[in-house]
Amino acid sequence: MSIQTRYEGAENKLEKLCEDNKLKLEFLRHSFPTIFRFTHDQSTAYQIELGETDIPRPHDPNAAIEIIFGDDVKVRITGDFEIDDDLLNALKGGAKKLHYLFLQAWFQTHKQAKQT
């Protein structure tokens, strides 16, 4: 299986995890450090399901969790962002896997470019 295929699979899996948990993913890959930013999906923040009695608490629009791949791997939380520990671990694991595959693909592309 090619690196690109594995990358796309990991990306789809992380995006699905975000979608299932009403999160949005932004992958800032064109500068250093590389950052995965997770925010609440505001498009459905104020929608109430039919029969639901609890009014959802609005999310802080500036709240985010960032997983930063620089000299070390760091997690930065900004604003009022609450998240379950299991979900945070799944996001970190998915980000680490996707970052690793991104680096492999980047080096493969640049190595091939230098050979031609």
37 strand-pairing partners: 26, 66
User: Which pLDDT does position 56 carry in this prediction?
Assistant: 53
Q: Where are the domains of the chain?
A: 3-45+57-115
How far out from the chain centre does Cα 35 lie? 9
Percent of the chain with pLDDT over 90: 64
Percent of the chain with pLDDT over 70: 84
How far out from the chain centre does Cα 28 lie? 10
Q: How confident is the model at residue 109 (pLDDT cuts 50, 70, 90)?
A: confident
Name the token pair of 29.
């890959």
Tens of pLDDT, residue by residue over 26-66, are 999 998 999 999 999 877 555 555 556 555 555 677 899 99
pLDDT above 90 for 116? no
Higher-scoring residue by pLDDT: 67, 58 = 67
Q: What is the mean pLDDT of the chain?
A: 87
Torsion of CA 13, 35, 79, 19, to 10 degrees: -20
- pTM for this entry: 0.81
What is the chain's Cα-based Rg?
17
Please report where in the chains the tokens 């379950």 appear, as a residue.
Answer: 84
User: Which pLDDT does position 50 carry in this prediction?
Assistant: 56
Mean pLDDT of the region 83-87: 94
Please report where in the chains the tokens 């250093």 appear, as a residue.
Answer: 32
Ranges of H-type helices in 1-116: 3-20, 85-115
Coil, strand, or helix at residue 115?
Answer: helix
Asked if 104 and 20 touch (Cβ cutoff 8 Å), the reply is no
